[in-house]
Structure 1
Amino acid sequence: MIKDRQPGEIQPGFKWGPFTARIPFIHLRLSLTDLLQGFAVSGATGLALVPYFTMLLGLSFEEAVVMALIHSTLIAFSWMLFGDPYAPGWLTPAIPFVVAFITAPAFVGDHVAQFQAMTALSLNFALILIVLGLTGLGAKLIKSVPNVLKGGIILGAAIAAFMRVTKDGDAANVFQSAPIAGTLGVTVCLLFAFSKPLTAVAMRYKGLATLLSLGLLPGFLIAGIVGFFTGELDFNIRWEILDVGAAASGLWAKASPFAIGWPPMDVFIASFPLALITYILFFGDVVTGNEMIEQAQKVRTDEKLDVNTSRAHLATGLRNALMGFTAPFFSTQGVLWTGIQVVLLKRWTQAKDTQTSLFDSIGSFYILGLPVLFILLPLVTLVEPLLPVALAVTLILTAFACATLALSLVDDATERGAMVITAMAFSLFEPWAGLLIGLFTIAALCGPSVFLPQRKAS
């Protein structure tokens, strides 16, 4: 029996420490639309790093799929165990830095050393998050950020996403690898997610409204069908069930610090600066997620979304620690999947009669906490060709959502100019350099008073 909440209250759940666990079919309902989207989008995107696992780290295909399964399971159970109203995902912008780190001369070709480096990165990042979460310093830091800097961080994410999706040779450049199928799929997903004219027409036609309620799924179906007939997407179906036990055993022997040994202290020290840089990206995701929820909360006053930044630090820190012990590949445990967060929040705000709680959508999209798709190789190989489409859709939705949110945060023309310069710095340089440039630009153009509490409160 579903436990209902009172109007304006938080969705019920089991409290444990600072967290709230919510169990499917007890504290949330099944949303079939989001379940189907989750199979296509979450499944395809979750497999995106399998080529990295096999080419860089020497894993077999089956071991790489199990590693992706562990990463996705930790992400999928995050909302269930910890209670954050975010659609969790990777810290995607950090992945190029991570790959560069483990392919440095000190690690290249030595898979044991590479996995130990990944463990060190994961545990360093977990330590930073847990300390800032327990002390409350992370929440205070995020609350003290002026809107102009928030906007710069968020808009920087938008610009970086747009740049990556059009970069030659990048896996996300579906317009290069599958121009017809990719363009159609991305266009349909973007229209279904954000088009005001389409939404207005759907208010008059029930069939179109039903189609729009399917979210990103129609775009993926169109891309798959068109890609098959144009030959841009190659489907090679394997009719097998993954031998999880054997693959997990092989992965443990190659990757876990309990099997290969713990990283030396010099590796912990060498990886700490990258963990700090990644915290800036985490910081930006939390700011983005909180602003999105605040905007959506104005429309849906019947459900209070409990945003707790300290809890988000702790939850993400615990997931990174667990990942570092079992299947280390930094940075696959982040706080927010921006593109999906905006899609699920939009459904929540527009479907009050059918979408009782935001957690109905989040839980169903993440397949109720268990990514069974990864075990069924026919499904894995079915969605595998759609991976470039999934990456492009995620990046473009992220870019559009971040851009619209950032531009709504400030009204002053000078602050908007400083915000754009800050955003460009974040998109072009490493995160720490972008932060320094942004702080200097904002202080010089807008004045140091923007960082004072009384300015933010006015």
Structure 2
Amino acid sequence: MRFALPEFLQGICVAGATGLALVPVMTASFGLSFEEAVTMAMFHTMLISAGWMIFGDPLAPGWLTPALPFIFAFVLGGGNTPEEQFQLMTALSLNFAALLIFLGITGLGAKLVAWVPNVLKGGIILGAAVAAFLRIFDQNDAASALNSTPIAAISALALCMFLTFSKPFQRQAAKMPILAKIAGLGLLPAFVVAGVVGLVTGEMQFNIQSGLLDVPTHATSMWEKASPLNIGWPSVTMFLNALPLAFITYILFFGDVVTGNEMIKNSQPMRPDEKLDVNGNRTHMATGIRNAAMAVVAPFFGTQGVLWTGIQVIVLKRWVTGRDKMDSIFDGISAYYVYGFPVLFIVLPIVTMLQPLLPIALAVTLLLTGFACATLALTTVTDSTERGAMVLTAIAFSLFDPWTGLLAGLATILVVVGPGVFTAKKEAADAADKATAEAAVAKDL
């Protein structure tokens, strides 16, 4: 965990702000104060850093971002009070943890995902895109950036889309290194533009405070509101209702595992001096343990994933240039996460300066995730009938509860496409896994 300046600077600017992106949702919909929500985000960052710090995975971990729209719809729609909503978060996390640990021990993960046909995978991924767009443009959502800061939010969203997906910009960036560097800053340019526009239009007021966050006090009050040790454990019904969403999330998780392993496999020949230990079963176990710990300490499902693909790309690019640039891959990963200890979240001047921008950070994350998932889903199947079934499945996933969405999707596929789609040759399933893996490169930022 040696000091790596480029990754350290990017981590402070990008990883810190992104790690706080869920704070507006926690305060608007889950009954936490701003300080309690920041404290919960700090625990999420500490747990996610355990992926490389404790378990030794050579991967830059991230959120299960495409699952977030499903999670919001399920938890906010299924819980009548903040206590019930946090119990649902706990049920989701423990279900997912049990699934990961079981599949990690038995090695059945690859077989499970191979059984899922392309049309169902595409429906899940496209459903995540639709749910993300619905969340962004929900006029009844008090935490929505488009409702509170519409001009600043639209400016940030447009800039992020332009820097990330615009083909004319990408062609110019290939010719002009300065444009490539701007695009490489991720969400930072959008934050800067949003802050300037917000100040000029009067949509944002910055109340920068001095001092440090009183972590013990706010952690205690946060646990009293959220931890199952205080508010009670989820009911059996909650666990059963959360099962389909745990399965859906696993499909997204598996794509990230495949992507991360392939990225390391392709980079390893350029750095034979450091042999990276890639172990899929360990990744399952480590992520499962992190989700189980989160369920008790800071229950907010979706924050303990396995790969932040954009950061993995950044770290690997400098790692492959030689030992003189980056001695170990863990130097770059740990520096980007500010060494696993989010001191940034404790410094009130920084946190309160970012506070007005956090709803925009969430909106940008959802928009980029939705766009990338939509483009991926439309490439998973080529048959027009399967595409129609995929769209209907996606609508079911985005509008209904997980059980209803899953059953409706399966029924649609069986009736329209036929049961033979579940017994396709393994080669087709492998191609689906590859497509899912390639998707993560576009969707994770």
After TM superposition, the score normalised by the length of structure 1 is: 0.77
The answer to whether the aligner puts 1:97 opposite 2:74 as a matched pair is: yes
Residue in structure 1 matched with residue 371 of structure 2 by the alignment? 400
Name which of 2, 9, 31 aligns with 2:7: 31
Residue in structure 2 matched with residue 164 of structure 1 by the alignment? 135
The answer to whether the aligner puts 1:45 opposite 2:21 as a matched pair is: yes
The answer to whether the aligner puts 1:289 opposite 2:288 as a matched pair is: no
- 1:336-379 Cα offsets, whole Å, 9 max, x none, are 67xx63x4466579887599798777545433322222101111
Residue in structure 2 matched with residue 11 of structure 1 by the alignment? none
Residue in structure 1 matched with residue 305 of structure 2 by the alignment? 335
Aligned counterparts, 1:36-75, within 5 A: 36-39=12-15, 41-51=17-27, 56-57=30-31, 61-75=34-48
Structure 1 residue 223, shift from structure 2 partner:
0.7
Residue in structure 2 matched with residue 194 of structure 1 by the alignment? 165
Contact 1:66 1:248 in 2 (8 A): yes
Give 3-state SS (helix, strand or coil) of 2:365's partner.
helix
Amino acid at match of 2:390: M
Contact 2:8 2:338 in 1 (8 A): no
Question: Unaligned stretches of 5+ in structure 1?
Answer: 1-23
Name which of 244, 247, 250 aligns with 1:277: 244
Relative to 1, partners in 2 of residues 1:115 and 1:331: Cα closer, same or farther, differing over 3 Å?
Answer: closer
Structure 1 residue 143, shift from structure 2 partner:
2.3
- 1:409-443 Cα offsets, whole Å, 9 max, x none, are 22223322222222222122222222222222223
Amino acid at match of 2:39: V
Residue in structure 2 matched with residue 367 of structure 1 by the alignment? 338
- 1:191-224 Cα offsets, whole Å, 9 max, x none, are 2222222122122223222222222211111111
> How far apart, in 1, do the equivalents of 2:382 and 2:92 lie?
39
Contact 1:142 1:287 in 2 (8 A): yes
> How far apart, in 2, do the equivalents of 1:121 and 1:416 lie?
29
Moved more, 138-147 or 73-82: 73-82
Question: Unaligned stretches of 5+ in structure 2?
Answer: 430-445
Amino acid at match of 1:74: L
> How far apart, in 2, do the equivalents of 1:253 and 1:151 lie?
40
> How far apart, in 2, do the equivalents of 1:64 and 1:297 lie?
34
Contact 1:50 1:65 in 2 (8 A): no
Residue in structure 2 matched with residue 88 of structure 1 by the alignment? 62
> How far apart, in 1, do the equivalents of 2:244 and 2:407 lie?
12
Residue in structure 1 matched with residue 413 of structure 2 by the alignment? 442
Residue in structure 1 matched with residue 439 of structure 2 by the alignment? none
- 1:83-137 Cα offsets, whole Å, 9 max, x none, are 274642255222343244442xxxx48x6x8766765554444334323332333
Amino acid at match of 2:179: L
Residue in structure 2 matched with residue 410 of structure 1 by the alignment? 381
> How far apart, in 1, do the equivalents of 2:333 and 2:110 lie?
23
Contact 2:75 2:88 in 1 (8 A): no
Amino acid at match of 1:45: A
Structure 1 residue 236, shift from structure 2 partner:
0.9
Contact 2:98 2:288 in 1 (8 A): yes
Relative to 1, partners in 2 of residues 1:74 and 1:309: Cα closer, same or farther, differing over 3 Å?
Answer: same
Residue in structure 1 matched with residue 145 of structure 2 by the alignment? 174
Relative to 1, partners in 2 of residues 1:412 and 1:85: Cα closer, same or farther, differing over 3 Å?
Answer: farther
Relative to 1, partners in 2 of residues 1:209 and 1:129: Cα closer, same or farther, differing over 3 Å?
Answer: closer
Amino acid at match of 1:285: L
Residue in structure 2 matched with residue 8 of structure 1 by the alignment? none
The answer to whether the aligner puts 1:77 opposite 2:50 as a matched pair is: yes
Structure 1 residue 150, shift from structure 2 partner:
1.6
The answer to whether the aligner puts 1:239 opposite 2:213 as a matched pair is: no
> How far apart, in 2, do the equivalents of 1:388 and 1:206 lie?
31
Amino acid at match of 1:71: H
Amino acid at match of 1:276: L
Name which of 177, 187, 208 aligns with 1:216: 187
Contact 2:97 2:291 in 1 (8 A): yes
> How far apart, in 2, do the equivalents of 1:197 and 1:297 lie?
30
Relative to 1, partners in 2 of residues 1:397 and 1:359: Cα closer, same or farther, differing over 3 Å?
Answer: farther
> How far apart, in 1, do the equivalents of 2:120 and 2:20 lie?
33
> How far apart, in 1, do the equivalents of 2:347 and 2:203 lie?
24
> How far apart, in 2, do the equivalents of 1:114 and 1:208 lie?
43
> How far apart, in 2, do the equivalents of 1:68 and 1:165 lie?
21
Contact 1:193 1:216 in 2 (8 A): no
Identical aligned residues as a percent: 44
> How far apart, in 2, do the equivalents of 1:230 and 1:40 lie?
26
Relative to 1, partners in 2 of residues 1:136 and 1:368: Cα closer, same or farther, differing over 3 Å?
Answer: same
Contact 2:26 2:37 in 1 (8 A): yes
Q: Hey, which of these two has a bigger chunk of helix by percent? A: 2
Relative to 1, partners in 2 of residues 1:102 and 1:362: Cα closer, same or farther, differing over 3 Å?
Answer: farther
Name which of 326, 336, 349 aligns with 2:297: 326
User: What RMSD over aligned residues (CA atoms) do the two structures have, in Å?
Assistant: 3.6
Contact 1:88 1:334 in 2 (8 A): yes
> How far apart, in 2, do the equivalents of 1:218 and 1:413 lie?
39
After TM superposition, the score normalised by the length of structure 2 is: 0.79
Give 3-state SS (helix, strand or coil) of 1:408's partner.
helix
Relative to 1, partners in 2 of residues 1:353 and 1:389: Cα closer, same or farther, differing over 3 Å?
Answer: farther
Contact 1:121 1:274 in 2 (8 A): no
Structure 1 residue 168, shift from structure 2 partner:
0.7
> How far apart, in 2, do the equivalents of 1:50 and 1:437 lie?
31
> How far apart, in 1, do the equivalents of 2:219 and 2:141 lie?
30
> How far apart, in 1, do the equivalents of 2:342 and 2:281 lie?
27
Relative to 1, partners in 2 of residues 1:382 and 1:31: Cα closer, same or farther, differing over 3 Å?
Answer: same
Structure 1 residue 160, shift from structure 2 partner:
1.3
- 1:276-325 Cα offsets, whole Å, 9 max, x none, are 13313312422543575589689868579987664444233212221233
Amino acid at match of 1:190: M
Contact 2:152 2:195 in 1 (8 A): yes
Amino acid at match of 1:408: T
Name which of 115, 123, 127 aligns with 2:98: 127
Residue in structure 2 matched with residue 419 of structure 1 by the alignment? 390
